[in-house]
């Protein structure tokens, strides 16, 4: 099977922060999981470069827009590389490969009959490069809901897309394919807003500057940056080697840009007669120490802070925290120092770290470091139940659910240590077989956990496997998750704490 996952392409005007890192890390986890399952994965991220504000900030910095975009796109690329993100490509909308395709799609759109030249007047949110409908503008007191700056009344001559004609098609899509927009709550919000009525939308702007992709055949216009940006998902795979990846399996985004992805993008694709993506998944937002992150508060969990967490706790601990305690569902989530510390100590060090460490230490101590023969299957049924819950979660981006199931199993395995008390069994040779069985079960739990944490904590997973003595590359996922795969006689390696305690 193929699996094509995307992140939003990020504005080059911002420096990368935890929000960008989060979505990209979640996409990375999905990509790694599907690779583990043997799927042919294509994981795309990138930068959105033709925003008008790029021109302004480039000028402020004494650079051309292209230089400014180059510099900032590089910051995103470096950040993702440093964070071990396994994207297969990084698309930039200023690249010729994208521009050519975007022009081709625009030319196709112009021919569909769904586009006309008209005039538009409305409330413009310059920060978001977006017009707000009259009622929304009023609701937000004519200020940007995102950055609080006043909306601007703007009038433009534009090419318009007949979005208004697509209400029924969209509502049918959302009804026939409920998985198209997830979570459910978000789909219902989108459907309600569609029912309030759809206006035609501008898809070009008259260019005051040269920064943007020209509308083919009409040099006075550039393609509206949002349309240009949405095209990236298609342009990146619109070539003979990659065409089979389309349609995308999931566009992972946050709720701020759901409308573009759940309404505008599918109608563009309908007009272009292309297949629709299978899913748009809109997660919620990180806030920071209880407050919304904003420029004015200067409280972004920024790169410097992210680097500090990685240095103090390790990259995998950060990935775990993001996946397990992040805003994947419909609730915002708080990124706080105290919370991170608690999670590190309680879930990583005390639960997973402790299980692995005591298991290996006991095998070392009581069996000379060699995994003994199995005796009973005391943990098999729990393990199998957990694996199926994990797979279900992973299959629908419910990473929280998958990790909860996995951590319940970690807890259960720790309990099993207490119940069977191997240190007591070891005192009497009459218990040899029983102790063998207990130690085997624990070693097998450890192995299984190492397989299943791989998409979340690839480095830690490998450390566990090395310590357990099974460091070779993971094979077929469906075999790896079968209980009892660990060979008796396996020689345990060097034992070291996975998550050194922090105070």
Binding residues for ligand MSP, per CB under 6 A? Answer: 8-11, 14, 19-20, 22-23, 48, 229-230, 232, 253-254, 256-257, 285-286, 293
Q: Kindly tell me which of 32 and 251 has the beta carbon lying closer to ligand MSP.
A: 251
DSSP result, 92-115: ETTSHHHHHHHHHHHHHHHHTTSE
% helix, strand, coil for the chain, step of 5: 50, 15, 30
Q: Minimum Å distance from CB 320 to ligand MSP?
A: 17
Q: How far apart are CA 250 and CA 273, in angstroms?
A: 19
Buried-exposed string 428-440: b where 16+ CB fall within 10 A, e elsewhere: eeeeeeebbbbbb
The alpha-helical segments, DSSP class H, found in 118-197 are 134-139, 167-176, 184-195
Q: Which is nearer to ligand MSP, 66 or 345 (CB)?
A: 66
Of 91, 43, 49, 39, residue with least CA distance to 69: 49
Virtual torsion, Cα 30, 34, 39, 43, nearest 10 deg = 20
CB 258 within 8 A of CB 91: no
Looking at beta carbons only, is 42 or 286 nearer to ligand MSP? 286
**97 HSE (CA, 13 A, CB side):** 12
Q: Nearest approach, Cβ of 19 to ligand MSP (angstroms)?
A: 2
Backbone phi, psi, residue 292, to 5°: -55, 140
Q: Which is nearer to ligand MSP, 286 or 499 (CB)?
A: 286
Our CB check for ligand MSP shows the closer of 320 and 366 to be: 320
Least distance in angstroms from the C-beta of 298 to ligand MSP: 14
Cross-strand pairs, 72:
none
Least distance to ligand MSP, CB of residue 437, Å: 46
- Please state the closest distance from residue 49 (CB atom) to ligand MSP, in A: 9
Look at the block and give the residue holding tokens 């650079």: 63
Residue number with the smallest Cβ distance to ligand MSP: 19
CA separation for the pair 236, 9 (Å, rounded): 12
For residue 480 the two structure tokens come to 């790896």
State residue 30 phi and psi, 5-degree precision: -60, -45
State in angstroms the smallest separation of the CB of 318 from ligand MSP: 14
Look up tokens 């060090």; give the residue.
349
Least gap, CB of 368 to ligand MSP (angstroms): 49
* Nearest CA among 202, 181, 233 for reference residue 120: 202
8 A C-beta contact, residue 54 and residue 36: no
Nearer to ligand MSP by C-beta: 4 or 409? 4
CB of 455 to ligand MSP, least distance (A): 19
Spatial contact of 235 and 101, defined as CB atoms under 8 Å apart: yes
* Prior bond of 75 cis (ω within 30°): no
Q: Which is nearer to ligand MSP, 9 or 73 (CB)?
A: 9
- Rank residues 280 and 403 by Cβ distance to ligand MSP and give the closer one: 280
As measured in angstroms, the least distance from the Cβ of 16 to ligand MSP is: 9
Listed residue (470, 396, 482, 496) closest to 30, CA to CA: 396
User: Which of residues 251 and 367 has its CB atom nearest to ligand MSP in the complex?
Assistant: 251
CB of 238 to ligand MSP, least distance (A): 15
Cβ closer to ligand MSP: 20 or 465? Answer: 20
């Amino acid at each position: 099977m193929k699996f094509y996952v995307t992140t939003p392409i990020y504005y080059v005007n911002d420096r990368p922060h935890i929000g960008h890192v989060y979505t990209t890390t979640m996409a990375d986890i999905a990509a790694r999981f599907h690779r583990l399952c043997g799927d042919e994965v294509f994981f795309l991220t990138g930068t959105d470069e033709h925003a008008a504000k790029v021109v302004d900030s480039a000028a402020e910095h004494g650079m051309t827009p292209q230089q400014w975009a180059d510099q900032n796109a590089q910051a995103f690329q470096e950040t993702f590389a440093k964070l071990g993100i396994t994207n297969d490509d990084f698309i930039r909308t200023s690249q010729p490969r994208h521009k050519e395709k975007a022009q081709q799609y625009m030319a196709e759109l112009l021919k569909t009959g769904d586009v006309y030249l008209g005039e538009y007047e409305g409330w413009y949110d310059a920060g978001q490069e977006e017009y707000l409908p009259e009622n929304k503008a009023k609701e937000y007191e004519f200020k940007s809901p995102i950055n609080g700056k006043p909306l601007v009344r703007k009038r433009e001559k534009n090419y318009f897309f007949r979005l208004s004609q697509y209400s029924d098609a969209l509502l049918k899509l959302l009804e026939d394919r409920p998985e198209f927009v997830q979570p459910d709550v978000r789909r219902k919000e989108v459907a309600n807003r569609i029912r309030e009525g759809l206006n035609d939308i501008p898809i070009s702007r008259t260019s005051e500057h040269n920064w943007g992709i020209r509308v083919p055949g009409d040099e006075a216009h550039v393609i509206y940056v949002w349309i240009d940006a949405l095209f990236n998902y298609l342009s990146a795979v619109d070539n003979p080697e990659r065409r089979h990846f389309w349609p995308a399996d999931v566009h992972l985004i946050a709720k701020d840009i759901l409308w573009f992805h759940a309404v505008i993008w599918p109608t563009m694709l309908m007009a272009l007669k292309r297949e629709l993506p299978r899913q748009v998944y809109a997660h919620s937002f990180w806030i920071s120490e209880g407050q919304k992150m904003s420029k004015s508060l200067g409280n972004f969990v920024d790169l410097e802070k992210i680097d500090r967490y990685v240095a103090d706790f390790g990259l995998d601990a950060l990935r775990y925290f993001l996946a397990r305690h992040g805003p994947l569902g419909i609730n915002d989530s708080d990124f706080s120092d105290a919370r991170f510390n608690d999670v590190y100590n309680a879930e990583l060090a005390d639960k997973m770290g402790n299980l692995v460490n005591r298991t290996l230490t006991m095998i070392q101590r009581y069996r000379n470091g060699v995994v003994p023969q199995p005796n009973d299957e005391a943990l098999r049924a729990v393990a199998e139940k957990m694996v199926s819950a994990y797979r279900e979660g992973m299959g629908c981006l419910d990473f929280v659910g998958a990790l909860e199931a996995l951590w319940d199993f970690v807890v259960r395995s720790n309990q099993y240590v207490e119940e069977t008390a191997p240190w007591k069994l070891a005192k009497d040779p009459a218990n040899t077989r029983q102790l063998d069985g207990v130690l085997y079960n624990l070693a097998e739990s450890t192995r299984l956990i190492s397989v299943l944490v791989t998409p979340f904590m690839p480095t830690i997973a490998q450390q566990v496997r090395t310590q357990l003595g099974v460091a070779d590359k993971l094979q077929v996922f469906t075999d790896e998750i079968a209980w009892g795969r660990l060979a008796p006689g396996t020689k345990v390696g060097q034992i070291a704490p996975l998550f050194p305690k922090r105070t």
